[in-house]
């Protein structure tokens, strides 16, 4: 017995009807013909389960945030490289940003955007990471202390805008990772988080806005 499976898609607007078929020839052997009578009972539950899984995935996809592919122009920033774990992220990051802002004021540098974290290494088990903590500036050549000036080249990214507390960003990372895989892109380096609004300017954690970006290459 030889059979062929196929899926038929009939799409209209934002919906799509999926039909899963299995067709084949039973031949003349009596046992194969008897098997054909049982095929629906044997294979049907698997088909139903597969279609329900597909439905769940499609409906979950509808809840994805808007994903944007864009190119960041070359830019300059002040950065401090540091490391932290779950117990001291806030302290380490807050200290670095405070140092950078004081340095920018001292050197009369124009801050051109929100603070960010560029992740260099990340341990998914311990949640320990090594980061470049930075602020973008219009221009700079050299500074003192533990900060350094970085002239960053043009960068292609895929990104989402996330609203909510920092500890619940994980689903956004899964969405971006899946998008990168499906589009055939390749991650070029570690992710960036840009903190548009946060505890310094907004008390309601549901309104904290973070841009999460994956640098990519074709």
| Tens digit of each residue's pLDDT (9 = 90 or more) over 117-128 | 999 999 988 999
pLDDT score at 156: 97
pLDDT score at 53: 73
**Residue 88 predicted with pLDDT over 70:** yes
Residues in Cβ contact with 132 at an 8 Å cutoff, skipping those fewer than 6 apart: 79, 80, 81, 117, 118, 120, 150
**Residue 87 predicted with pLDDT over 90:** yes
How confident is the model over 142-157, as a mean pLDDT? Answer: 92
Beta strands 75-84 and 148-152 are antiparallel
What pTM does this model have?
A: 0.73
pLDDT score at 162: 96
CA angle 210, 214, 218 (to 5 degrees): 150
Average pLDDT of the chain? 86
Residue 154: helix, strand or coil by DSSP?
coil
State the residue for tokens 């570690």: 190
Which of 44-53, 82-91, 150-159, 196-205 comes out lowest in average pLDDT? 44-53
How confident is the model over 103-113, as a mean pLDDT? Answer: 95
Beta strands 116-122 and 129-137 are antiparallel
pLDDT score at 28: 63
Contact predicate 157/186, CB 8 Å: no
How confident is the model over 134-161, as a mean pLDDT? Answer: 94
% of the chain residues with pLDDT over 70: 83
**Residue 32 predicted with pLDDT over 80:** no
pLDDT score at 22: 72
């Amino acid at each position: 017995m030889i059979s062929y499976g196929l899926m038929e898609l009939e799409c209209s607007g934002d919906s799509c009807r999926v039909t899963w078929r299995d067709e084949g020839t039973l031949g003349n052997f009596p046992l194969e013909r008897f098997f054909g009578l049982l095929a629906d009972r044997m294979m049907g539950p698997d088909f139903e389960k597969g279609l329900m899984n597909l439905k769940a995935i499609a409906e979950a996809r509808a809840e994805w945030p808007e994903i944007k592919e864009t190119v960041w122009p070359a830019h300059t920033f002040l950065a401090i490289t540091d490391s932290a774990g779950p117990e001291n992220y806030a302290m380490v990051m807050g200290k670095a940003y405070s140092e950078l802002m004081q340095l920018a004021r001292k050197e009369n540098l124009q801050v051109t955007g929100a603070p960010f974290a560029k992740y260099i290494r990340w341990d998914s088990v311990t949640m320990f990471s090594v980061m470049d903590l930075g602020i973008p500036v219009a221009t700079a050549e050299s500074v003192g202390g533990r900060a350094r000036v970085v002239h960053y080249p043009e960068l292609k990214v895929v990104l989402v805008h996330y609203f909510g507390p920092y500890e619940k960003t994980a689903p956004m990372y899964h969405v971006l990772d899946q998008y990168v895989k499906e589009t055939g892109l390749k991650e070029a380096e570690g992710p960036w988080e840009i903190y548009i609004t946060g505890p310094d300017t907004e008390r309601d954690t549901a309104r904290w806005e973070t841009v999460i970006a994956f640098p990519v290459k074709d």
